[in-house]
Protein backbone atom coordinates (compact mmCIF):
# COMPACT_ATOMS: atom_id res chain seq x y z
CA UNK A 1 0.00 0.00 0.00
CA UNK A 2 1.48 3.33 -1.08
CA UNK A 3 2.07 6.14 1.41
CA UNK A 4 -0.43 8.91 0.63
CA UNK A 5 0.22 11.10 3.66
CA UNK A 6 0.74 14.84 3.23
CA UNK A 7 4.49 15.40 3.19
CA UNK A 8 4.61 19.18 2.81
CA UNK A 9 2.21 21.99 3.71
CA UNK A 10 2.82 25.42 2.18
CA UNK A 11 1.23 28.45 3.87
CA UNK A 12 0.88 31.52 1.67
CA UNK A 13 1.13 34.72 3.67
CA UNK A 14 2.37 35.61 7.12
CA UNK A 15 0.63 38.03 9.43
CA UNK A 16 -1.69 36.89 12.18
CA UNK A 17 -3.52 34.27 10.11
CA UNK A 18 -0.39 32.75 8.60
CA UNK A 19 1.52 32.31 11.83
CA UNK A 20 -1.59 31.30 13.80
CA UNK A 21 -1.88 28.50 11.24
CA UNK A 22 1.80 27.57 11.18
CA UNK A 23 2.23 27.24 14.96
CA UNK A 24 -0.44 24.56 15.62
CA UNK A 25 0.44 22.70 12.40
CA UNK A 26 4.11 22.35 13.28
CA UNK A 27 3.25 21.40 16.85
CA UNK A 28 0.93 18.61 15.70
CA UNK A 29 2.48 17.54 12.40
CA UNK A 30 6.08 18.71 12.54
CA UNK A 31 7.52 15.26 13.17
CA UNK A 32 6.07 13.81 9.96
CA UNK A 33 5.35 16.77 7.70
CA UNK A 34 7.34 19.74 6.44
CA UNK A 35 5.68 23.11 7.11
CA UNK A 36 6.74 26.04 4.92
CA UNK A 37 5.48 29.63 5.05
CA UNK A 38 5.99 32.02 2.16
CA UNK A 39 5.65 35.76 2.77
CA UNK A 40 6.88 38.97 1.22
CA UNK A 41 7.82 42.19 3.03
CA UNK A 42 6.43 44.06 0.01
CA UNK A 43 2.89 43.04 1.01
CA UNK A 44 1.55 44.66 4.14
CA UNK A 45 -0.83 43.03 6.61
CA UNK A 46 -4.10 44.48 7.87
CA UNK A 47 -3.01 43.97 11.48
CA UNK A 48 -5.69 46.03 13.26
CA UNK A 49 -7.37 43.10 15.03
CA UNK A 50 -6.10 43.77 18.53
CA UNK A 51 -9.09 42.56 20.60
CA UNK A 52 -9.94 38.89 21.10
CA UNK A 53 -12.41 36.45 22.63
CA UNK A 54 -11.65 34.11 25.59
CA UNK A 55 -10.92 31.25 23.19
CA UNK A 56 -7.49 32.78 22.56
CA UNK A 57 -6.47 31.69 26.06
CA UNK A 58 -7.03 28.05 25.16
CA UNK A 59 -5.27 28.43 21.82
CA UNK A 60 -2.22 29.79 23.64
CA UNK A 61 -2.51 27.09 26.29
CA UNK A 62 -2.58 24.35 23.63
CA UNK A 63 0.63 25.79 22.20
CA UNK A 64 2.21 25.74 25.65
CA UNK A 65 2.75 29.51 25.75
CA UNK A 66 3.60 31.16 29.05
CA UNK A 67 0.86 33.74 29.64
CA UNK A 68 3.05 36.32 31.38
CA UNK A 69 5.72 36.11 28.69
CA UNK A 70 3.15 36.36 25.90
CA UNK A 71 1.47 39.38 27.52
CA UNK A 72 4.77 41.15 28.04
CA UNK A 73 6.11 40.49 24.53
CA UNK A 74 2.88 41.64 22.79
CA UNK A 75 2.23 44.76 24.94
CA UNK A 76 -1.03 43.09 25.96
CA UNK A 77 -3.73 43.99 28.44
CA UNK A 78 -6.71 42.04 29.73
CA UNK A 79 -10.17 42.21 28.20
CA UNK A 80 -13.32 41.48 30.22
CA UNK A 81 -15.73 42.42 27.43
CA UNK A 82 -16.98 45.38 25.41
CA UNK A 83 -18.59 48.59 26.59
CA UNK A 84 -21.16 49.84 24.07
CA UNK A 85 -21.96 53.55 23.92
CA UNK A 86 -24.79 55.19 21.95
CA UNK A 87 -25.94 51.87 20.48
CA UNK A 88 -29.74 51.54 20.39
CA UNK A 89 -30.12 55.22 21.21
CA UNK A 90 -27.86 58.18 21.87
CA UNK A 91 -26.79 58.26 25.51
CA UNK A 92 -27.27 54.52 26.03
CA UNK A 93 -24.47 52.49 27.61
CA UNK A 94 -24.27 48.78 28.32
CA UNK A 95 -21.65 46.10 28.77
CA UNK A 96 -21.25 42.77 26.97
CA UNK A 97 -18.99 40.86 29.32
CA UNK A 98 -17.38 37.44 29.31
CA UNK A 99 -19.61 36.12 32.06
CA UNK A 100 -23.18 35.60 33.14
CA UNK A 101 -25.70 37.02 35.57
CA UNK A 102 -25.50 34.23 38.09
CA UNK A 103 -26.01 30.47 38.13
CA UNK A 104 -29.39 29.02 37.09
CA UNK A 105 -32.15 28.99 39.68
CA UNK A 106 -34.21 25.79 39.58
CA UNK A 107 -32.91 25.15 36.04
CA UNK A 108 -34.01 28.56 34.79
CA UNK A 109 -31.54 31.32 33.78
CA UNK A 110 -31.01 33.94 36.49
CA UNK A 111 -31.94 36.84 34.20
CA UNK A 112 -35.52 35.53 34.02
CA UNK A 113 -35.89 35.93 37.77
CA UNK A 114 -34.41 39.42 37.59
CA UNK A 115 -37.07 40.30 35.01
CA UNK A 116 -39.73 38.92 37.35
CA UNK A 117 -38.52 41.08 40.23
CA UNK A 118 -38.07 44.18 38.09
CA UNK A 119 -41.77 44.20 37.23
CA UNK A 120 -42.60 44.49 40.94
CA UNK A 121 -39.81 46.81 42.13
CA UNK A 122 -39.80 50.16 40.38
CA UNK A 123 -36.26 50.95 41.58
CA UNK A 124 -34.82 47.51 40.84
CA UNK A 125 -31.07 47.92 40.10
CA UNK A 126 -29.87 47.12 36.59
CA UNK A 127 -29.46 43.46 35.66
CA UNK A 128 -25.77 44.25 35.04
CA UNK A 129 -25.20 44.61 38.79
CA UNK A 130 -25.52 40.83 39.07
CA UNK A 131 -22.69 40.31 36.59
CA UNK A 132 -19.31 39.79 38.22
CA UNK A 133 -17.40 40.72 35.09
CA UNK A 134 -19.40 43.91 34.54
CA UNK A 135 -18.75 45.02 38.13
CA UNK A 136 -15.02 44.42 37.58
CA UNK A 137 -15.02 46.47 34.38
CA UNK A 138 -16.94 49.33 35.96
CA UNK A 139 -14.40 49.42 38.82
CA UNK A 140 -11.46 49.09 36.40
CA UNK A 141 -10.22 46.01 38.28
CA UNK A 142 -8.80 42.70 37.17
CA UNK A 143 -7.94 39.35 38.71
CA UNK A 144 -8.12 35.98 36.95
CA UNK A 145 -10.92 33.60 37.93
CA UNK A 146 -10.02 30.62 40.10
CA UNK A 147 -10.93 27.93 37.60
CA UNK A 148 -10.05 25.13 39.97
CA UNK A 149 -12.46 26.35 42.67
CA UNK A 150 -15.51 27.77 40.88
CA UNK A 151 -17.95 29.90 42.83
CA UNK A 152 -20.54 32.52 41.98
CA UNK A 153 -17.77 35.14 41.94
CA UNK A 154 -15.68 33.19 39.45
CA UNK A 155 -18.31 32.74 36.75
CA UNK A 156 -16.43 34.85 34.22
CA UNK A 157 -13.64 34.58 31.71
CA UNK A 158 -11.31 37.01 29.99
CA UNK A 159 -9.49 37.61 26.75
CA UNK A 160 -6.70 39.96 25.67
CA UNK A 161 -5.94 43.15 23.83
CA UNK A 162 -2.57 42.87 22.08
CA UNK A 163 -0.53 44.31 19.26
CA UNK A 164 -1.44 42.04 16.35
CA UNK A 165 1.91 42.58 14.64
CA UNK A 166 3.79 41.62 17.79
CA UNK A 167 1.57 38.57 18.25
CA UNK A 168 2.32 37.40 14.70
CA UNK A 169 6.05 37.90 15.36
CA UNK A 170 5.76 36.02 18.66
CA UNK A 171 4.15 33.04 16.92
CA UNK A 172 6.65 33.27 14.06
CA UNK A 173 9.52 32.81 16.50
CA UNK A 174 7.64 29.96 18.18
CA UNK A 175 6.91 28.20 14.89
CA UNK A 176 10.37 28.62 13.38
CA UNK A 177 12.00 27.36 16.56
CA UNK A 178 9.97 24.17 16.10
CA UNK A 179 10.84 23.68 12.45
CA UNK A 180 8.67 25.89 10.23
CA UNK A 181 10.70 27.07 7.25
CA UNK A 182 10.12 30.72 6.29
CA UNK A 183 10.68 31.69 2.66
CA UNK A 184 10.76 35.35 1.78
CA UNK A 185 9.64 36.12 -1.74
CA UNK A 186 6.90 37.46 -3.98
CA UNK A 187 4.65 34.86 -5.62
CA UNK A 188 4.58 35.39 -9.37
CA UNK A 189 2.65 32.33 -10.54
CA UNK A 190 1.00 29.05 -9.60
CA UNK A 191 1.53 25.64 -11.18
CA UNK A 192 -1.32 23.11 -11.29
CA UNK A 193 -1.56 19.43 -12.16
CA UNK A 194 -2.88 19.18 -15.75
CA UNK A 195 -5.47 16.52 -14.87
CA UNK A 196 -6.58 17.08 -11.27
CA UNK A 197 -6.15 20.86 -11.14
CA UNK A 198 -4.39 20.51 -7.78
CA UNK A 199 -1.77 23.15 -7.03
CA UNK A 200 1.69 21.60 -7.35
CA UNK A 201 4.01 24.57 -6.82
CA UNK A 202 4.30 28.30 -6.33
CA UNK A 203 6.57 30.25 -8.64
CA UNK A 204 8.45 33.14 -7.03
CA UNK A 205 9.49 36.30 -8.82
CA UNK A 206 13.20 35.39 -8.52
CA UNK A 207 12.65 32.05 -10.28
CA UNK A 208 12.44 29.76 -7.25
CA UNK A 209 9.74 27.11 -7.04
CA UNK A 210 8.03 26.04 -3.81
CA UNK A 211 6.40 22.62 -4.19
CA UNK A 212 3.82 21.23 -1.80
CA UNK A 213 0.99 18.77 -1.24
CA UNK A 214 -1.41 21.05 0.64
CA UNK A 215 -1.59 24.84 0.31
CA UNK A 216 -3.11 27.12 2.95
CA UNK A 217 -4.14 30.52 1.62
CA UNK A 218 -3.53 33.22 4.27
CA UNK A 219 -2.98 35.95 1.68
CA UNK A 220 -5.62 38.32 3.02
CA UNK A 221 -8.47 40.00 1.17
CA UNK A 222 -7.11 39.18 -2.29
CA UNK A 223 -7.33 35.40 -1.78
CA UNK A 224 -4.36 34.71 -4.02
CA UNK A 225 -5.08 30.98 -4.32
CA UNK A 226 -8.69 30.38 -3.27
CA UNK A 227 -9.98 33.16 -5.54
CA UNK A 228 -7.09 33.88 -7.87
CA UNK A 229 -6.66 30.25 -8.88
CA UNK A 230 -9.89 28.46 -7.99
CA UNK A 231 -12.47 31.27 -8.42
CA UNK A 232 -14.31 30.30 -5.23
CA UNK A 233 -16.79 33.15 -5.49
CA UNK A 234 -17.97 35.48 -2.73
CA UNK A 235 -21.22 35.95 -0.83
CA UNK A 236 -21.71 39.70 -0.40
CA UNK A 237 -23.54 40.63 2.84
CA UNK A 238 -23.41 44.40 2.37
CA UNK A 239 -27.20 44.71 2.40
CA UNK A 240 -27.24 43.57 6.05
CA UNK A 241 -23.85 44.96 7.06
CA UNK A 242 -23.46 48.15 5.02
CA UNK A 243 -20.17 49.35 6.56
CA UNK A 244 -17.46 48.98 3.93
CA UNK A 245 -14.63 51.23 5.10
CA UNK A 246 -12.44 51.77 8.11
CA UNK A 247 -9.72 54.09 9.28
CA UNK A 248 -7.32 53.09 12.04
CA UNK A 249 -4.79 55.08 14.03
CA UNK A 250 -2.95 54.51 17.34
CA UNK A 251 -2.62 57.23 19.91
CA UNK A 252 -0.66 57.78 23.10
CA UNK A 253 -1.77 55.51 25.89
CA UNK A 254 -4.49 56.79 28.19
CA UNK A 255 -4.01 57.59 31.84
CA UNK A 256 -6.43 54.82 32.82
CA UNK A 257 -5.75 51.33 31.46
CA UNK A 258 -9.26 49.95 31.12
CA UNK A 259 -9.81 46.15 30.99
CA UNK A 260 -12.33 46.32 28.16
CA UNK A 261 -12.84 47.42 24.57
CA UNK A 262 -15.06 50.44 23.91
CA UNK A 263 -17.38 50.63 20.89
CA UNK A 264 -19.18 53.93 20.29
CA UNK A 265 -21.91 54.20 17.67
CA UNK A 266 -21.57 57.17 15.32
CA UNK A 267 -23.85 58.68 12.69
CA UNK A 268 -22.54 56.39 9.90
CA UNK A 269 -20.90 53.51 11.78
CA UNK A 270 -18.91 53.11 14.99
CA UNK A 271 -15.52 53.67 16.55
CA UNK A 272 -13.35 51.34 18.59
CA UNK A 273 -10.94 51.99 21.43
CA UNK A 274 -8.51 49.26 22.50
CA UNK A 275 -6.05 49.97 25.33
CA UNK A 276 -2.59 48.40 25.14
CA UNK A 277 0.36 48.81 27.47
CA UNK A 278 2.27 51.14 25.12
CA UNK A 279 -0.53 52.83 23.18
CA UNK A 280 -4.25 52.86 22.48
CA UNK A 281 -5.62 51.39 19.26
CA UNK A 282 -8.44 53.35 17.63
CA UNK A 283 -10.54 52.98 14.53
CA UNK A 284 -13.70 54.12 12.78
CA UNK A 285 -15.78 51.60 10.83
CA UNK A 286 -18.30 53.28 8.53
CA UNK A 287 -20.26 53.15 5.28
CA UNK A 288 -18.87 55.50 2.64
CA UNK A 289 -22.35 55.75 1.14
CA UNK A 290 -23.49 57.77 4.17
CA UNK A 291 -20.38 59.86 4.88
CA UNK A 292 -17.08 60.90 3.32
CA UNK A 293 -13.62 59.61 4.15
CA UNK A 294 -12.66 63.12 5.24
CA UNK A 295 -15.57 63.36 7.66
CA UNK A 296 -14.92 59.82 8.96
CA UNK A 297 -11.31 60.74 9.64
CA UNK A 298 -12.35 63.88 11.49
CA UNK A 299 -14.75 61.89 13.70
CA UNK A 300 -12.00 59.39 14.48
CA UNK A 301 -9.34 61.95 15.37
CA UNK A 302 -11.70 64.08 17.46
CA UNK A 303 -12.56 61.06 19.60
CA UNK A 304 -8.98 60.14 20.58
CA UNK A 305 -8.00 60.41 24.24
CA UNK A 306 -4.33 60.88 23.44
CA UNK A 307 -2.10 62.37 20.74
CA UNK A 308 -2.41 60.56 17.40
CA UNK A 309 0.66 58.57 16.39
CA UNK A 310 0.60 59.17 12.66
CA UNK A 311 -2.15 59.60 10.10
CA UNK A 312 -5.20 57.31 9.94
CA UNK A 313 -4.72 54.24 7.75
CA UNK A 314 -7.49 53.64 5.22
CA UNK A 315 -9.03 50.18 4.72
CA UNK A 316 -11.73 49.00 2.30
CA UNK A 317 -13.68 45.78 2.58
CA UNK A 318 -16.80 43.95 1.51
CA UNK A 319 -18.46 42.01 4.30
CA UNK A 320 -19.12 38.39 3.39
CA UNK A 321 -17.42 35.04 2.87
CA UNK A 322 -16.03 32.83 0.13
CA UNK A 323 -18.60 30.38 -1.18
CA UNK A 324 -16.01 27.68 -0.48
CA UNK A 325 -12.96 27.92 1.76
CA UNK A 326 -11.52 24.52 0.78
CA UNK A 327 -11.19 23.59 -2.90
CA UNK A 328 -9.06 20.65 -4.05
CA UNK A 329 -5.76 20.97 -2.13
CA UNK A 330 -6.19 24.62 -1.14
CA UNK A 331 -7.64 25.80 2.20
CA UNK A 332 -8.31 29.49 2.88
CA UNK A 333 -7.94 30.77 6.44
CA UNK A 334 -8.29 34.32 7.71
CA UNK A 335 -9.29 37.25 5.50
CA UNK A 336 -8.86 35.12 2.38
CA UNK A 337 -11.84 33.10 3.64
CA UNK A 338 -14.11 36.02 4.47
CA UNK A 339 -14.50 39.21 6.46
CA UNK A 340 -16.82 40.39 9.22
CA UNK A 341 -16.27 43.77 10.82
CA UNK A 342 -14.52 43.54 14.21
CA UNK A 343 -17.49 44.73 16.27
CA UNK A 344 -17.36 41.64 18.53
CA UNK A 345 -13.66 40.78 18.06
CA UNK A 346 -14.41 37.60 16.11
CA UNK A 347 -11.73 37.68 13.38
CA UNK A 348 -9.01 35.88 15.34
CA UNK A 349 -11.58 33.47 16.81
CA UNK A 350 -12.65 32.42 13.29
CA UNK A 351 -8.98 31.76 12.45
CA UNK A 352 -8.70 29.59 15.57
CA UNK A 353 -11.78 27.63 14.59
CA UNK A 354 -10.64 27.12 11.01
CA UNK A 355 -7.18 25.88 12.02
CA UNK A 356 -8.79 23.48 14.48
CA UNK A 357 -11.11 22.12 11.81
CA UNK A 358 -8.20 21.79 9.36
CA UNK A 359 -6.39 19.59 11.88
CA UNK A 360 -9.57 17.66 12.63
CA UNK A 361 -10.18 16.93 8.94
CA UNK A 362 -6.56 16.85 7.82
CA UNK A 363 -6.44 14.97 4.50
CA UNK A 364 -4.25 12.56 2.62
CA UNK A 365 -2.70 13.83 -0.59
CA UNK A 366 -5.88 13.09 -2.57
CA UNK A 367 -7.77 15.64 -0.42
CA UNK A 368 -11.08 13.80 -0.45
CA UNK A 369 -13.92 16.21 -1.33
CA UNK A 370 -15.99 14.86 1.57
CA UNK A 371 -13.48 16.41 3.99
CA UNK A 372 -13.61 19.70 2.12
CA UNK A 373 -17.42 19.63 2.17
CA UNK A 374 -17.53 19.25 5.95
CA UNK A 375 -14.91 21.95 6.49
CA UNK A 376 -16.83 24.29 4.18
CA UNK A 377 -20.08 23.58 6.01
CA UNK A 378 -18.56 24.39 9.39
CA UNK A 379 -16.84 27.57 8.19
CA UNK A 380 -20.00 28.77 6.44
CA UNK A 381 -22.11 28.21 9.55
CA UNK A 382 -19.58 29.97 11.73
CA UNK A 383 -19.51 33.03 9.49
CA UNK A 384 -23.31 33.12 9.30
CA UNK A 385 -23.82 32.82 13.06
CA UNK A 386 -21.35 35.62 13.72
CA UNK A 387 -22.90 37.69 10.93
CA UNK A 388 -26.33 37.46 12.56
CA UNK A 389 -24.95 38.45 15.97
CA UNK A 390 -23.31 41.53 14.45
CA UNK A 391 -26.40 42.45 12.42
CA UNK A 392 -28.38 42.36 15.67
CA UNK A 393 -26.40 45.38 16.94
CA UNK A 394 -27.57 47.44 13.97
CA UNK A 395 -31.10 46.18 13.46
CA UNK A 396 -32.39 46.63 17.01
CA UNK A 397 -32.10 50.40 17.18
CA UNK A 398 -34.27 53.33 18.13
CA UNK A 399 -31.91 55.78 16.47
CA UNK A 400 -33.33 57.81 13.61
CA UNK A 401 -30.88 60.71 13.75
CA UNK A 402 -29.11 59.80 10.51
CA UNK A 403 -29.83 58.15 7.18
CA UNK A 404 -27.49 55.32 8.12
CA UNK A 405 -29.46 54.32 11.23
CA UNK A 406 -32.78 54.69 9.44
CA UNK A 407 -31.46 52.28 6.80
CA UNK A 408 -30.36 49.79 9.49
CA UNK A 409 -33.77 49.89 11.19
CA UNK A 410 -35.53 49.10 7.90
CA UNK A 411 -33.07 46.65 6.31
CA UNK A 412 -34.01 43.00 5.72
CA UNK A 413 -32.45 40.42 8.03
CA UNK A 414 -32.26 36.59 8.02
CA UNK A 415 -35.32 34.73 9.28
CA UNK A 416 -33.18 33.01 11.91
CA UNK A 417 -32.19 36.35 13.44
CA UNK A 418 -35.73 37.67 13.28
CA UNK A 419 -36.87 34.59 15.19
CA UNK A 420 -34.22 35.18 17.87
CA UNK A 421 -35.33 38.77 18.38
CA UNK A 422 -39.05 38.06 18.45
CA UNK A 423 -38.72 35.00 20.68
CA UNK A 424 -36.96 37.09 23.30
CA UNK A 425 -39.25 40.09 22.92
CA UNK A 426 -42.42 38.02 23.27
CA UNK A 427 -41.37 35.32 25.77
CA UNK A 428 -37.96 36.11 27.28
CA UNK A 429 -36.42 32.94 25.84
CA UNK A 430 -33.10 32.80 23.99
CA UNK A 431 -32.31 30.49 21.11
CA UNK A 432 -28.62 29.87 20.40
CA UNK A 433 -27.89 28.31 17.02
CA UNK A 434 -24.13 28.02 17.47
CA UNK A 435 -23.11 26.01 20.55
CA UNK A 436 -19.49 27.10 20.08
CA UNK A 437 -20.33 30.79 19.68
CA UNK A 438 -21.97 33.48 21.77
CA UNK A 439 -23.81 32.21 24.84
CA UNK A 440 -27.30 32.81 26.19
CA UNK A 441 -25.92 35.52 28.50
CA UNK A 442 -24.20 37.24 25.57
CA UNK A 443 -27.52 37.45 23.73
CA UNK A 444 -29.23 38.72 26.88
CA UNK A 445 -26.56 41.41 27.33
CA UNK A 446 -27.03 42.60 23.79
CA UNK A 447 -30.83 42.41 23.53
CA UNK A 448 -31.52 44.02 26.88
CA UNK A 449 -28.71 46.49 26.40
CA UNK A 450 -30.34 47.59 23.15
CA UNK A 451 -33.66 48.01 24.92
CA UNK A 452 -35.53 44.80 24.11
CA UNK A 453 -37.58 43.92 27.21
CA UNK A 454 -39.58 40.67 27.20
CA UNK A 455 -43.32 41.22 27.42
CA UNK A 456 -44.04 38.30 29.75
CA UNK A 457 -42.28 36.17 32.33
CA UNK A 458 -41.56 32.47 32.19
CA UNK A 459 -44.66 31.01 33.95
CA UNK A 460 -42.60 28.34 35.73
CA UNK A 461 -40.60 30.87 37.74
CA UNK A 462 -43.79 32.03 39.50
CA UNK A 463 -43.49 28.95 41.71
CA UNK A 464 -40.50 30.37 43.62
CA UNK A 465 -41.33 32.46 46.68
CA UNK A 466 -40.83 36.18 46.20
CA UNK A 467 -38.93 36.75 49.45
CA UNK A 468 -36.49 33.98 48.57
CA UNK A 469 -35.72 35.68 45.27
CA UNK A 470 -35.12 39.03 46.93
CA UNK A 471 -32.70 37.51 49.45
CA UNK A 472 -30.89 35.55 46.74
CA UNK A 473 -30.25 38.59 44.55
CA UNK A 474 -29.30 40.81 47.49
CA UNK A 475 -26.79 38.25 48.71
CA UNK A 476 -25.18 37.77 45.29
CA UNK A 477 -24.93 41.52 44.73
CA UNK A 478 -23.22 42.00 48.09
CA UNK A 479 -20.72 39.19 47.43
CA UNK A 480 -19.84 40.67 44.04
CA UNK A 481 -19.38 44.14 45.53
CA UNK A 482 -17.08 42.93 48.30
CA UNK A 483 -15.07 40.67 45.96
CA UNK A 484 -14.43 43.44 43.45
CA UNK A 485 -13.37 45.82 46.21
CA UNK A 486 -10.58 43.40 47.11
CA UNK A 487 -9.25 43.17 43.54
CA UNK A 488 -6.27 45.15 42.25
CA UNK A 489 -6.65 47.79 39.57
CA UNK A 490 -6.08 46.52 36.06
CA UNK A 491 -2.89 48.56 35.59
CA UNK A 492 -1.51 47.41 38.93
CA UNK A 493 -2.12 43.77 38.11
CA UNK A 494 -0.30 44.13 34.78
CA UNK A 495 2.59 46.02 36.35
CA UNK A 496 3.06 43.26 38.90
CA UNK A 497 2.65 40.19 36.66
CA UNK A 498 3.30 40.93 32.98
CA UNK A 499 4.59 44.44 32.35
CA UNK A 500 6.24 44.95 28.98
CA UNK A 501 9.92 45.95 29.10
- Mean of all residue pLDDT scores within the chain: 94
79 has catalytic annotation: yes
Name the band, by pLDDT with cuts 50, 70 and 90, for residue 45.
low
Determine if residue 344 is labeled as part of a ligand binding site. yes
Q: What's the rounded Cα separation, in Å, for the pair 114 and 121?
A: 10
**Can you give the pLDDT at residue 88?**
97
Residue 147 or residue 21, greater confidence: 21
**244 close to 130: Cβ distance less than 8 angstroms:** no
73, 79, 328, 395: the catalytic one is 79
| DSSP reduced 3-state for 440 | helix
Name the band, by pLDDT with cuts 50, 70 and 90, for residue 27.
very high
The burial class, CB within 10 Å (0-12 / 13-18 / 19+), for 223 is: buried
**Can you give the pLDDT at residue 340?**
97
CA 465 to each of CA 154, 309, 457: distance values in angstroms, whole numbers, following the listed order: 27, 58, 15
Determine if residue 15 is labeled as part of a ligand binding site. yes
> Mean per-residue pLDDT for 222-230?
97
> Mean per-residue pLDDT for 390-419?
97
Q: Is the pLDDT of residue 332 over 90?
A: yes
User: What end-to-end distance do the CA atoms of the chain give, in Å?
Assistant: 55
**Per-residue pLDDT tens digits for 84-95:** 999 999 999 999
**Can you give the pLDDT at residue 435?**
84
**Per-residue pLDDT tens digits for 432-490:** 998 888 999 999 999 999 999 999 988 888 766 788 888 889 999 999 999 999 999 99
**Can you give the pLDDT at residue 467?**
83
Name the band, by pLDDT with cuts 50, 70 and 90, for residue 255.
confident
**Per-residue pLDDT tens digits for 290-317:** 999 999 999 999 999 999 999 999 999 9
Q: How does 286-319 read in b/e, with b if 16+ C-beta sit within 10 Å?
A: bbbebbeeeebbebbbeebeeeeeeebeeeebeb
Q: Is the pLDDT of residue 262 over 70?
A: yes
Q: Which fold has domain 8-76+162-234+322-386?
A: FAD/NAD(P)-binding domain (3.50.50)
**Cβ-based neighbour number of residue 156 at 10 Å:** 21
Q: Is the pLDDT of residue 2 over 80?
A: no
Q: Find the range with the poorest average confidence among 34-48, 150-164, 395-409.
A: 34-48
> Mean per-residue pLDDT for 367-393?
97
CA 133 to each of CA 96, 97, 421: distance values in angstroms, whole numbers, following the listed order: 9, 6, 25
Determine if residue 14 is labeled as part of a ligand binding site. yes
**Can you give the pLDDT at residue 152?**
61
Torsions phi, psi of 191, nearest 5? -100, 140
Determine if residue 479 is labeled as part of a ligand binding site. no
**Can you give the pLDDT at residue 105?**
86
Using DSSP bridges, classify how beta strands 261-266 and 81-85 pair: parallel, antiparallel or unpaired.
Answer: parallel
Sign, CA dihedral 459-463-464-467, equals: positive
Domain ranges in the chain with CATH number 3.50.50.60: 8-76+162-234+322-386
Determine if residue 183 is labeled as part of a ligand binding site. no
Which residues fall within 8 angstroms of residue 389, CB to CB, at 6 or more apart? 344, 437, 438, 442, 443, 446
**Per-residue pLDDT tens digits for 100-149:** 998 888 888 999 999 988 888 878 899 999 999 999 999 999 999 975 44
Determine if residue 409 is labeled as part of a ligand binding site. no
Answering whether pTM is above 0.85, one says: yes
Using DSSP bridges, classify how beta strands 8-12 and 34-39 pair: parallel, antiparallel or unpaired.
Answer: parallel
Amino acid sequence: MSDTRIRKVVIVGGGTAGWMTAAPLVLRLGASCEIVLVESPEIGTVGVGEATLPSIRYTNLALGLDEADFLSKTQATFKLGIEFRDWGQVGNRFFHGFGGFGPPIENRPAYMYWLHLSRSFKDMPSYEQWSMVTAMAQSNCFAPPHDALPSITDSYSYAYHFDAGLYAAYLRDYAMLRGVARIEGMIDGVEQHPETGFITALKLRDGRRVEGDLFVDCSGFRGLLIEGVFKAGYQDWSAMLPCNSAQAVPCAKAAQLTPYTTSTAKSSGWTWRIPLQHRTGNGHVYCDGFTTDEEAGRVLLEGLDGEAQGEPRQLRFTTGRRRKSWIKNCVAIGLSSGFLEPLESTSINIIEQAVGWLLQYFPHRDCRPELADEFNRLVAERFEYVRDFIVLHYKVTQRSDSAFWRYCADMPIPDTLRHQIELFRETGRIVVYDPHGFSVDSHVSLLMGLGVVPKVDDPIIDTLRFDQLVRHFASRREIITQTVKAMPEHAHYISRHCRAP
